Structure 1
Amino acid sequence: MPQTTIYALVMLAAGIGIPLLAALNAGLGKSLGSPIAATAVLFCVALLAASLLLVISGEIPKLSRLSITPKQFLCGGFFVAFYVLSVTFIAPKFGVGNAVFFVLIGQMISAAAIDHYGLFGAQVSPLSLTRAAGLSVMAFGVWLTQQG
Structure 2
Amino acid sequence: MTHHALIMFAAGVGIPILAALNARLGANIGGPAAAALVLFTVALVVAGAATALTGPAALARVVGQPWHLFGAGLLIAFYVLSVTWIAPAFGVGNAVFFVLLGQLVSAALIDQFGLFGAKAVVLSPMRVLGLATMAVGLALTQLAGR
**TM class, shorter-length:** over 0.9
- Aligned match for 1:140, one of 106, 130, 136: 136
Match of 2:12 among 10, 15, 22: 15
**Distance in 2, Cα, partners of 1:130 & 1:55:** 43
Deviations 1:32-83 (A, max 9, x none): 10110000110000000100111122x1111110112211111100000000
Q: CA deviation at 1:126?
A: 1.2
Equivalenced residue count is: 144
The equivalent residue for 1:108 is: 104
Q: Deviations over 1:67-114 (max 9, x none)?
A: 122111111000000000000000000000000000000000000000
Structure 1, unpaired ranges of 5+: none
Using the alignment, how far apart are the partners of 1:111 and 1:55 within structure 2? 31
The correspondence of residues 87-102 of structure 1 with structure 2, limited to 5 A, is: 87-102=83-98
* Residue equivalent to 2:45: 48
Q: TM-score normalized by structure 2?
A: 0.96
SS at match of 1:146: helix
Q: 2:35 aligns with which of 30, 38, 42?
A: 38
Which structure 2 segments of 5+ residues have no match?
none
Question: Quick one: which amino acid aligns to residue 53 of structure 1?
Answer: A
Aligned-pair Cα RMSD in Å: 0.8
AA of the residue aligned to 2:59: L
Paired residue secondary structure (1:87): helix
In percent, how many aligned pairs have the same letter? 54
Q: For residue 126 of structure 2, what is the amino acid of its counterpart?
A: T
The answer as to 2:111 corresponding to 1:120 is no
